[in-house]
Structure 1
Amino acid sequence: MTTPVIVGAAETAYTRTPGPDDTAETYLVQAIRLAVADAGFALSDIDGLAVSSFSLKPDHAVDLAVRCGLTLSWIMEDTNGGASGINMLQHAVRAVESGDAEVIVVAAGDRMTNDDFRILATEYNRITKDHVSPMGMIGPNPMFAFLTERHMRAHGLTRHDYGRIAVAQRRWAGLNPGAVYRKPLTLDEYLAAPTVAPPLHRFDCVPPVSGADAIVVTSRGVKPGERGARVLAIGGSINWDNQEGDGLRTGLSDAAPAIWEKASIAPSEADIVSVYDDYPVMVLIQLADLGLVPDGDLRRAVDRIDAHNWPVNTSGGQLSAGQAGTAGGLHGLVEAVTQLRGRAGQRQVNARIAAVSGYGMVAYRYGACANLAILETV
């Protein structure tokens, strides 16, 4: 069986203010070209394409292929939000293993202005449009406010604890030239920020931005003098509790043990972790679901994150780098690959194993999709 390797990763500059000529397509094309160049390939080498975007419509993956001048033997689209990146990677790995394609670009991104986000938030899916928005719960913030409140009660946490996660990630963002928010954030500033939906305040809520991400998966191996990342194990869980739980666990709690076992890696062996951070509470929930808080002491986990001796979301995460629509599903993956390839600049850590989680597609109350990729440097 052919061994797939991730040999390229790139992210466009995220921005809160896209230009009048910027579209989802222009961001995706730019990310694809950057990733392909980073991998040392030409566009003519690409024979597979996977795309996820909320705002590419009415176009589709094939239209993007035409725009890039790609001739393909394999193509797919994914519409599962924050879980799309790892889901597409899983399909790309299987396609390379089977010989359906040799060089696949996985891309995700969106143009996301305030109006774009408002429309997306109110018409996200039929559940949102027909049941949630008419109740006055516009966007995901109210849902995750309730979830955060439940989490606070269940674990005896306070806003101070969640704030330390946001502050710690902002310190990482200060080392990431591509992060939208790099100015240091103090805990006092976090606590004093305007209320959005109690107990959530401004810095608890992921900022929507415009931009795109891409990675390159290939069977052709790593070029001499370069490093890549191979997928040791990958998988996920979709609609694991039929939205009948309290949201304090994700499908990762059900799927992760088997994924770690398949990788022959213990959770404690992960050198770097990227978890989908649309809210600080989701950082803690996913870390626990991944088996990375074995004693269940979440405040101790916060202490480790705050002390910067646990490399979690070293890009600054989406809370500081920004959430470029569905590109959020690739943001953590791009960061993990960048770290494993030794290309993270000032924020570089000594990493051989990376764990990356995806989470998304809010239905009635919380995300219905969760997945995990465990990567190793090669």
Structure 2
Amino acid sequence: MNVPGRPLPQITAENEFFWTSGSDGQLRIQECQSCQALIHPPAPICRYCRSRDLGVRAVSGKASLSAFTVNHRFGFPDLPPPYVIAQVGIAEDPRVRLTTNIIECDPEDLKIGQTVEVVFQQIADVWLPVFRPASDGETAALPVDEIAPQDFAKHVRPALSEKRFEEHSAITGIGASRIGRRLMVPPLSLTIEACEAAVADAGLTFDDIDGLSTYPGLDMAGMGEGGVSALEGALGLRPTWINGGMDTFGPGGSVIAAMMAVATGMARHVLCFRTLWESTFGEMLKQGKMSPPGGARTSSWQMPFGASSASHTLALNAQRHFDRYGTTRETLGWIAINQRTNAALNPTAIYRDPMTMDDYLSARLITTPFGLYDCDVPCDGAVAVIVSAVDVARDMPKTPVLFEAVGTQILERTDWDQSTLTHEPQVLGQAAHMWSRTSLRPSDVDVAELYDGFSFNCLSWLEALGFCGIGEAKDFLDGGKNIARDGVIPLNTHGGQLSHGRTHGMGLIHEAVTQLRGEAGDRQVKDAKIAVTSSGGLTPSGVMLMRIDS
């Protein structure tokens, strides 16, 4: 019987062979008949040779253990924590990695690279392929990166023109609503607060706004107010151009899209906004006033194995970084401690109490190697940014913040468990792309506001952007001095999402502008003229280099 709990796979004509193949104890993977590559998840075309001659291949069921995490926090009635979430590379073609569970073993005995073998757990009409340590001592090849982390710059497409769209716009206004835990106010109210503040900061009125841009435009699971339609309906605006959706350059993609709209003459003043009310949403769930997202069936290839959070995917990448480069939990701890130190100087930060390394290490585990303070703080709040045409920006009240370069190119697979091994996916390519569009170098940057949904996001961006070499974060972060406000690269000066609150990347843009204007008060970085800010990762992300004229 189907015990209520974790969502089961939604079986379709394309994936039925995979989710039901365990009925005879055999693991099956889609295969290209032209080049013999194994393809996962199933697709109508081979990603390697573009052939449509596809079939299904029965494989041995042997795999290499690519990475694993012990989940302590999340769970389902039929899969209570702790349990092991893993990625395994199929022996016949380790480019195929399955998210799965490891069973019948003590997690302390597991090691990256060991051989595992498939067994099946039947739940209703689904046979979940889970794995256990192999008993025969055979070895299986580990997956390797399609592009080595240090080689991404070699694969960036050159600019199509010497003219750069970044030159045509500037940030002229910023605003934020109140930010807090369980504010219990409608999310649209927070959106309007932030937008009113940004419009006033730019010296404009709502009648001047001819463009609206947001991410993701959803109003479920505490993700937002409902997007452009909700805001336009409330304010009675008449935008010439609008933008919204998740398939963009991370949460900051709304700003990059606005830059393009201004550069092409579609709009002169674009209001970009992002709202979260996850804290209130969580409280309303507890009170029975909201319904949880999702349902009994899912299209996710991770959730049936209890990998219900981005933390699980990133924990696997972090473990591989630890294994390859000697990174430790203390390495991540210096990021969390730095954020808290900066948050102590920010009156709008949610968590401002001092944090020591002992505090960090003793906090409850979420999913190894992540503890509580590696995770951002769910909150309620909204942030808004005005992107204006540069020819009018210089006559507006505040110092315009100019765009130097953006990075958006996707060089990695976007499937969470098929992508880059040792860093957060969708970071290395975008960072390399940005540097190809400017003559500035990492040593020119005065402030870095880098996405930190988890501490490991920050580490990935620091290495990708060249503030330290690939695999050198352990030494670079040791002691926290290099990322302090008076260090080599001041990092997340407002407290970041780990302490200020999860504003989904837009808060990082707000802080970058605040620093470049010299308006950050006690946390101000001296003579800040150039800032880099990133948003997203795992999903397509974006990174922006901004400056002010000297």
Do the aligned partners of 2:337 and 2:355 also contact (CA within 8 Å) in 1?
yes
- Which residue of 339, 354, 357 maps to 2:531? 354
1:106 and 1:133 map into 2 onto residues whose CA distance is: 32
Deviation at 1:151, TM superposition (A): 1.8
- C-alpha spacing 1:87/1:146, structure 2 compared with 1 (3 Å): same
Residue deviations 1:71-92, cap 9 Å, x none? Answer: 21111112258x4332111111
- Which residue of 229, 232, 241 maps to 2:413? 241
- C-alpha spacing 1:312/1:123, structure 2 compared with 1 (3 Å): farther
Code of the residue aligned with 2:195 in structure 1: it is I
Indicate the RMSD between aligned Cα atoms, in angstroms: 2.6
1:292 and 1:102 map into 2 onto residues whose CA distance is: 35
Code of the residue aligned with 2:332 in structure 1: it is Y
Do the aligned partners of 2:188 and 2:225 also contact (CA within 8 Å) in 1?
no
- Name whichever of 213-222 and 135-144 sits farther off: 135-144
1:306 and 1:23 map into 2 onto residues whose CA distance is: 41
What SS does the corresponding residue of 1:232 show, helix, strand or coil?
strand
Do the aligned partners of 1:123 and 1:129 also contact (CA within 8 Å) in 2?
no
Deviation at 1:254, TM superposition (A): 2.3
Code of the residue aligned with 2:219 in structure 1: it is S
Do the aligned partners of 1:267 and 1:292 also contact (CA within 8 Å) in 2?
yes
- Which residue of 243, 261, 270 maps to 1:95? 261
1:58 and 1:107 map into 2 onto residues whose CA distance is: 10
- C-alpha spacing 1:321/1:269, structure 2 compared with 1 (3 Å): same
- C-alpha spacing 1:95/1:341, structure 2 compared with 1 (3 Å): same
What SS does the corresponding residue of 1:291 show, helix, strand or coil?
coil
Report what 1:261 is aligned to. 436
Report what 2:360 is aligned to. 190
Do the aligned partners of 2:182 and 2:283 also contact (CA within 8 Å) in 1?
no
1:80 and 1:120 map into 2 onto residues whose CA distance is: 25
1:3 and 1:133 map into 2 onto residues whose CA distance is: 43
Any unmatched runs of 5+ in structure 1?
361-366
1:141 and 1:89 map into 2 onto residues whose CA distance is: 26
What SS does the corresponding residue of 1:262 show, helix, strand or coil?
coil
- Which residue of 272, 280, 283 maps to 2:447? 272
Report what 1:106 is aligned to. 272
Report what 1:13 is aligned to. 178
Do the aligned partners of 1:109 and 1:211 also contact (CA within 8 Å) in 2?
yes
Report what 2:208 is aligned to. 45
Do the aligned partners of 1:229 and 1:340 also contact (CA within 8 Å) in 2?
yes
- C-alpha spacing 1:340/1:304, structure 2 compared with 1 (3 Å): farther
- Name whichever of 177-186 and 305-314 sits farther off: 305-314
Do the aligned partners of 1:78 and 1:84 also contact (CA within 8 Å) in 2?
no
2:209 and 2:419 map into 1 onto residues whose CA distance is: 43
**Structure 2 residue 242 is the aligned partner of structure 1 residue 75:** yes
Residue deviations 1:208-228, cap 9 Å, x none? Answer: 111111100111213466312
Report what 1:229 is aligned to. 401
**Structure 2 residue 467 is the aligned partner of structure 1 residue 297:** no
Report what 1:214 is aligned to. 384
Do the aligned partners of 1:236 and 1:371 also contact (CA within 8 Å) in 2?
yes
Residue deviations 1:136-176, cap 9 Å, x none? Answer: 22322332222222221122122112111100110011111
Deviation at 1:295, TM superposition (A): 6.8
2:465 and 2:231 map into 1 onto residues whose CA distance is: 35
1:222 and 1:175 map into 2 onto residues whose CA distance is: 31
2:314 and 2:292 map into 1 onto residues whose CA distance is: 14
Residue deviations 1:78-132, cap 9 Å, x none? Answer: 2258x433211111111111211111111011221326799999649x9x65432
Report what 1:345 is aligned to. 521
TM-score relative to the length of structure 1: 0.88
Do the aligned partners of 2:225 and 2:275 also contact (CA within 8 Å) in 1?
no
- Name whichever of 301-310 and 283-292 sits farther off: 301-310
TM-score relative to the length of structure 2: 0.62
2:293 and 2:311 map into 1 onto residues whose CA distance is: 12
What SS does the corresponding residue of 1:356 show, helix, strand or coil?
strand
- Name whichever of 276-285 and 47-56 sits farther off: 47-56
Report what 2:496 is aligned to. 317
- Which residue of 161, 176, 195 maps to 2:346? 176
**Structure 2 residue 234 is the aligned partner of structure 1 residue 55:** no
1:188 and 1:148 map into 2 onto residues whose CA distance is: 21
Residue deviations 1:266-310, cap 9 Å, x none? Answer: 122111111110111111111111122137421232137445113
Do the aligned partners of 1:151 and 1:281 also contact (CA within 8 Å) in 2?
no
Any unmatched runs of 5+ in structure 2?
1-164
- Residues matched between the structures, number: 364
1:60 and 1:333 map into 2 onto residues whose CA distance is: 19
- C-alpha spacing 1:14/1:238, structure 2 compared with 1 (3 Å): farther
* Matching of residues 124-143 of structure 1 within 5 Å: 130-143=300-313
- C-alpha spacing 1:80/1:173, structure 2 compared with 1 (3 Å): farther
Code of the residue aligned with 2:208 in structure 1: it is D
- Name whichever of 244-253 and 43-52 sits farther off: 244-253
Deviation at 1:229, TM superposition (A): 0.6
- Which residue of 231, 234, 247 maps to 1:64? 231
Deviation at 1:38, TM superposition (A): 1.0
- C-alpha spacing 1:253/1:304, structure 2 compared with 1 (3 Å): farther
Residue deviations 1:179-215, cap 9 Å, x none? Answer: 1111111111111111111221111111211111110
Residue deviations 1:21-52, cap 9 Å, x none? Answer: x2221111111111111111111111111122
What SS does the corresponding residue of 1:216 show, helix, strand or coil?
strand
2:507 and 2:314 map into 1 onto residues whose CA distance is: 21
Residue deviations 1:223-263, cap 9 Å, x none? Answer: 46631211111131347224323442333322333422322
- C-alpha spacing 1:368/1:186, structure 2 compared with 1 (3 Å): same
1:80 and 1:121 map into 2 onto residues whose CA distance is: 23
1:295 and 1:240 map into 2 onto residues whose CA distance is: 17
Residue deviations 1:321-355, cap 9 Å, x none? Answer: 1114xxx1211111111111111111111211111
What SS does the corresponding residue of 2:168 show, helix, strand or coil?
coil
